[in-house]
Structure 1
Amino acid sequence: MTPDQIKLVQESFREVVPIRETAAALFYEKLFAIDGSLKALFRETDMRKQGAKLMAALGFVVHGLSRAETIVPAIQDLARRHVGYGVEEHHYPTVGQALIDTLEAGLGEAFTPQVREAWTEAYSLLAGVMIAAAREVQLAA
């Protein structure tokens, strides 16, 4: 990611923080609309708490983008835990689409093509790290 893309992601996320509960609910609504089978992964989950965890994780990643080496171990641990929850590699594009759709809805006109590109790049990096860590777990099993 370029420094400008990192800045765009961080600045746009500041606009999401005040509406984080709504954004989290919208994210899961969009996620389940794209792939209803994912609901099964959350059947015993308090979705309000899950939404808070989602927004906290996003905040951690967004704020750490300018020093990615400091957040990679935590992202890898997150991915390893997600394997245990039943998350599979083919779910990552779906999550990415739900995230982009949520940001577009939540940010409105502020979700410019440049902001979209920056978030897409950020998610691609995040998903790449998570997929690699998940593959390690699966190969070890």
Structure 2
Amino acid sequence: MDTDQIDLVRDSFIQIVLDTDAAARLFYSRLFELAPETRPLFRTDMVEQGRHLIEALGRIVTGLSRLDVMLPGLSKLAERHVDYGVEDHHYAVAGDALMRMVTVHGGPAIDSATMEAWKTAYALIAEVMIAASNDYRGLRAPD
């Protein structure tokens, strides 16, 4: 990602933070609509879960300019997701839900360049997390 794309993601994320609960509700509503089998993976209060989602997104958005620093944290996040029961194909569904959330809650500056920046950022993060998930599954597999 270039610095212009990172700035687009950061600027639109600020709009999402202004209505954290509604943005998170929309994300999970879309996720459960597209992949109802994911609903049982969430055992906590969904308002609290939504706040965790936005906090994690905040760390990711902030870290886009320093991916080397963010990679270990993403690997740990991916491992936790494996333990929760997340499978590789869920990342595409979560990406769809994220793009819907950005479109609705990203503010008036959401344009094609901003959406492309979000898609680029998510593709990068999902690729890292899927690779880390598969590595983690390999480590846990019985010999």
Bin for the TM-score computed over the shorter chain: over 0.9
**2:8 alignment counterpart:** 8
Q: Structure 2: which 5+ runs fail to align?
A: none
Q: Structure 1: which 5+ runs fail to align?
A: none
Supply the AA of the counterpart residue of 2:65. Answer: S
Runs of 4 or more, structure 1, over 2 Å off, are 107-110
- What secondary structure does 1:110 align onto? coil
Q: 2:21 & 2:67 partners in 1: Cα distance?
A: 26
Supply the AA of the counterpart residue of 2:16. Answer: V
Give 1 or 2: higher helix fraction: 1
Supply the AA of the counterpart residue of 1:135. Answer: N
**1:86 alignment counterpart:** 85
Q: 2:99 & 2:122 partners in 1: Cα distance?
A: 9
Q: 1:90 & 1:65 partners in 2: Cα distance?
A: 23
Q: Deviations over 1:35-81 (max 9, x none)?
A: 11111211x22111111110000000001111111111001100001
Matches within 5 A, 1:1-141: 1-42=1-42, 44-107=43-106, 109-140=108-139, 141=141
Q: 1:97 & 1:8 partners in 2: Cα distance?
A: 18
TM-score, with structure 2 as normaliser: 0.94
Q: 1:12 & 1:41 partners in 2: Cα distance?
A: 28
TM-score, with structure 1 as normaliser: 0.95
